[in-house]
Amino acid sequence: MDAEERESGITFGEICHLIGKKIWMVLGIAAGVAVLAVILFALVLNPLGTSYSMSFELIYPTSTQQQYPDGTPFSYRNIISRTILEAAKRKDERLVNTDVVTMIEQDHVQIAAKTEEDGSVVYTLTVHGKYFANEEMAQLFIRSVANATVDDIMSRASKLAYGISEESFNGNNFEARLDLLNELYTTLLSTYDRWISTYSSGYQVTLDGTARSLSDYRAGVYGIFVEGVRGVLAQECENSGYSLLYGDEVELAGMIPARVDQLKKEYALNEQIIAALREQPDSSTDGGGASAAYSLRAVTLAGKTEEGGNNIVIEQPDPTLEQRIAYYTERNAVIASQLGDAVTGGELNGTLTVEKAQEFAQKIDSYFTSLNAEAEVLKNVTTAIYRQNTFADFISQTAESDGDTNIVLVGVAAFILVFLIASVIVCAVEYNRGRRIAGQADGACSVETQGSADNAQDGEQDDVQDGAQDVSDGQENFSPDQVKPE
């Protein structure tokens, strides 16, 4: 009966029995292979095909204008420049061996920008997983890149220079110096106005342990070079003959005598021109007079503009004789004011003296020093504002992975698969082994049965032979005489 069952197949119960006999070996093999599969995927296969990404915003004072602190356009591609990536490596010693050169060359680091409805920009930085031991290191690198970008922005802010170098300032004449001071003054005020519009007039900025509002800082600039001061200096510069002077006080001392000689010659020439003009008859006798001749006239041209109207050109006619005389007379009056008695060969007692020119230079230099000091204050204020308001705001605190395989699923799948394979192998081995043992047992039984049958047959034959011998013996000993009648 058992032989017939084995020939027809194996039952489920027998399968369970066979596996149960080797269950610990099957479980051990399955667990070992599962662990190896997890390690293989975690350390080799997953890093080779996985990419990690994190999204963040760069918050800084000029981020909405997409500009660096110096006003140059901000390009989000700079976030993954080699300079920034190298700086990111230096932010943590665990990243020093990251191969950013290969990462850039093989396009294994990417940046994308998305503008939201509120105008903010979200940047998504993606890196290839093969450069990092695990997700934690990739996340650390992405954060370091964002922070390195923040450092770059603050570094640019700290390098801003609002002031004027002394070399550039002294290299210009006094008229140009006044223009430079005016431009600097305007720049300082407009920059404070921009900060106030961005934050508020009461926004506090701490410098050297002292907190002041933006309006206080602005007020410190405003009173230095107000319009009245600028007007007085410009008029003094022009009327006193300082406009074309340049250099420091020492250079002025050598420049004034040469300038005085030029003005003396100009004064004498103007006197000659005036005398010659007065000897000429006045040609403007059209009844309109000098004022009429000096008035502006409009000439209508035939050409049409794009709007369909006439082109109106305002022209001024040649000056009259009286106007020319008036011009040279006024010019000589200015020269006389600058030179004093020197125009007639006397003492140089006008405004254009070495002492007075040096005093004017010192006056301008004092405004230059004050405004430059305020420019340095503004630089520090700007740096502090960027330091307080520049940071990377991450949308999520963990990196998102793409292209990786869940190692838990890998472990479970490997365990189940190997368990089934091992079970099949164990069943096959144990089943075949059982069949061999059963076959050997059946053979032994057959031999024993055959032996018993042979013995029985031999016994029967012996009995028959013994019976036949007895009959034969009986016949030999039988005699009719021995039979008695009844």
* Distance between first and last Cα of the chain: 64
**Pairing, β 109-115 against β 204-207:** unpaired
User: What confidence tens digit (pLDDT) does each residue in 164-188 have?
Assistant: 999 999 999 999 999 999 999 999 9
User: What confidence tens digit (pLDDT) does each residue in 361-398 have?
Assistant: 999 999 999 999 999 999 999 999 999 999 999 998 89
d(CA 364, CA 177): 8
Structure tokens at 77: 């591609």
Q: Where are the domains of the chain?
A: 1-49+412-448, 51-159, 166-281+296-388
Q: Please give the helix or strand (H or E) that residue 370 lies within, else none.
A: helix 354-389
Specify the higher pLDDT residue, 23 or 290: 23
Q: What is the pLDDT of residue 307?
A: 46
What's the number of CA atoms in the CB half-sphere (13 Å) around residue 361?
24
CB within 8 A of 217, min separation 6: which ones?
192, 205, 377, 378, 381
Is the pLDDT at 103 greater than 60? The verdict is yes
Amino acid at 243: S
Are 129 and 45 in contact by the 8 Å Cβ rule? The answer is no
Q: What is the mean pLDDT of residues 437-457?
A: 58
Q: What is the pLDDT of residue 205?
A: 97
From 39, 434, 370, select the one nearest 222 (Cα to Cα): 370
- Extract the runs of DSSP E, i.e. beta strands, from 370-442: 391-394, 400-402
| Residue 161 backbone dihedrals phi, psi, to 5 degrees | -130, 110
Specify the higher pLDDT residue, 117 or 202: 202
- Extract the runs of DSSP E, i.e. beta strands, from 26-88: 51-59
Is the pLDDT at 62 greater than 90? The verdict is yes
Are 245 and 255 in contact by the 8 Å Cβ rule? The answer is yes
**Global pTM?**
0.67
User: What confidence tens digit (pLDDT) does each residue in 263-318 have?
Assistant: 999 999 999 999 999 988 765 544 444 443 333 333 444 444 444 454 555 555 67
Give, to the nearest 10 degrees, the angle between helix 174-198 and helix 214-222.
160
